[in-house]
Amino acid sequence: AKAKAADIQKIVENFLISGEVETSGLNYGSGHINDTYCLYNKQPHEPNYLLQRINHHVFKDVSALTDNIYLVLNYLKKKMQLLQQSDLQVLELIPAKNKMLYHKDEDGNYWRMYVFIKDSKSFDIVETEQQAEEGGRAFGQFQALLSDMNASLLSETIVDFHNILFRLDNFNKALKENKANRAANVQEEIDFILARVTQMRRIYDMGQQGLLPKRITHNDTKFNNILFNQQDKAICVIDLDTVMPGYVAYDFGDAIRTIINTAAEDEADLSKIKLNIPLFEAYTKGYLAEAGKFLTANEVKSLLLGVFLLPYMQAVRFLTDYLEGDHYFKIAYPEHNLVRTKAQLHLLKQLEEHEAELQEIISTYSIYKLK
Ligand code: ADP
Ligand code: MG
Ligand code: MG
């Protein structure tokens, strides 16, 4: 979408920046949640900036969200100084003139600004094993640095985001109400989902039993939320809107869900949905090289459960929306949510068929030998 550069200039005046910036007014990057603009500095020695309009329809409590990001960034910075670790950079928020870390405009929009990370790029799709390994390393290091931060300091900005019991409740409600009168057409998918409830609750149940600690997790481990340099080295974990308390396996499973799938999330031709095991291995290797420093044996055991859970949870959400008549996810054609459901369940079937092999790979890179 094209915004008016003049409007953006007006917003910029509310932030404490150095130098003088200009903007094309064009959206930057390929994020789907916020509106992002790059601000180019006319003064060569001053940084460029990145301005974002925060999507407050998705994130209802911008103040709590900003507190989460602020706390996490501060902790990361201090911890990295302490460890004298400097291969990854930490995002830097620019204060607004109101002394807060965001500015609310007269239309009720919320804006924030970061220093633009120089010479960086992000990948929507993983192309090489090197990228996958670097990505695993970046998210692993992110979790490792935060592993001893008190998770209860952070607000749960989206409640029940990865809670499968909540997703299944909604699914069962939609099934019972059968508003769009579609349940009879999708009995096979319904049965498939219901047959796996016990297995898919396992991370949740382990948490309830005190077997898994709540850590600080990213919760949106899409590949384009890592910035790379020109040599394909990961340099920064970005998009911290969803940082909150969670289980490490959710981050791992969400990253793997797209990395391991040779096709798109909504591929209609199921024969194209295969597992890219070399990319899985590369990501796992990078991830465990960093996260292996703090993960407990139970957490390592939970990783593969997360790999199964995340596609399953997406399928449950897509099928719920299909049963309710498609009012949550944007659809491009009438059966889109059903096609998405089938694609995720097909991916899950493949994962189940390769369970032993995937578990073996996790074991190879972990100090804990799993069976
Ligand atoms: P969304 O929630 O919409 O995905 P992101 O915070 O991920 O928003 O930002 C969108 C895109 O902007 C990213 O994928 C990345 O390409 C780019 N980007 C975000 N933050 C920075 C930054 N500090 N420096 C450089 N590029 C960035
Ligand atoms: Mg993003
Ligand atoms: Mg985001």
pLDDT, tens digit, for every residue of 221-247? 999 999 999 999 999 999 999 999 999
Helix (H, G, I), strand (E, B) or coil at 169: helix
Residue nearest to atom 8 of ligand 1 (CA): 31
Report residue 125 as tokens. 């799709």
pLDDT of the residue at 1: 45
pLDDT of the residue at 371: 64
**Nearest partner of 317 among 325, 329, 307, judged by Cα:** 329
Report residue 202 as tokens. 């396992």
Kindly give, in sequence order, each residue whose CB lies less than 8 Å from that of residue 217, ignoring residues fewer than 6 positions away. Answer: 143, 243, 244, 245, 246, 247, 248, 250, 251
N-to-C CA span, the chain: 50
Give the mutation target among 239, 242, 258 for probing the ligand 1 site: most ligand atoms within 8 A of CB: 239
Q: Quick check: 220 and 254 in contact, CB under 8 A?
A: yes
Nearest ligand 1 atom, CA 34: 3
Ligand index nearest the alpha carbon of residue 224: 1
Q: Quick check: 112 and 52 in contact, CB under 8 A?
A: yes
CA dist., res. 135 & res. 289, Å (int): 12
pLDDT digits (tens, 9 = 90+) for 174-183: 999 999 999 9
Indicate which CATH number applies to the domain containing 27.
3.30.200.20
Residue nearest to atom 18 of ligand 1 (CA): 29
Q: Degrees (nearest 5) of the Cα angle 61, 65, 66?
A: 115
Ligand index nearest the alpha carbon of residue 35: 1
The mean pLDDT of 57-82, rounded to a whole number, is: 95
Q: What is the percent of the chain where pLDDT is above 70?
A: 99
Taking CB atoms and a 6 Å cutoff, what residues make up the pocket around ligand 1? Answer: 28-34, 36, 50, 91, 114, 116-117, 120, 122, 224-225, 227, 238-239, 241
User: Does residue 135 carry a pLDDT above 50?
Assistant: yes
The mean pLDDT of 150-155, rounded to a whole number, is: 95
Please report whether residue 64 resides in a domain: yes
pLDDT of the residue at 3: 61
Give the pLDDT band (50/70/90) at residue 369. Answer: confident
Indicate which CATH number applies to the domain containing 307.
3.90.1200.10
Is residue 140 domain-shared with residue 194, that is, in the same domain? yes
Q: What is the ipTM of this complex?
A: 0.98
Residue with tokens 């094309």: 24
pLDDT digits (tens, 9 = 90+) for 11-64: 999 999 999 999 888 888 887 889 999 999 999 999 999 999 999 988 999 999
pLDDT digits (tens, 9 = 90+) for 198-209: 999 999 999 999
Provide the residue range defining the domain that includes 164: 129-364
DSSP 8-state code for residue 370: P
Give the mutation target among 37, 238, 242, 254 for probing the ligand 1 site: most ligand atoms within 8 A of CB: 238
Number of domains making up the chain: 2
Is residue 248 domain-shared with residue 332, that is, in the same domain? yes
Is residue 100 domain-shared with residue 167, that is, in the same domain? no
- 218 Cα–ligand 2 center, Å: 11
Kindly give, in sequence order, each residue whose CB lies less than 8 Å from that of residue 241, ignoring residues fewer than 6 positions away. Answer: 33, 34, 54, 59, 65, 69, 157, 220
Give the pLDDT band (50/70/90) at residue 263. Answer: very high
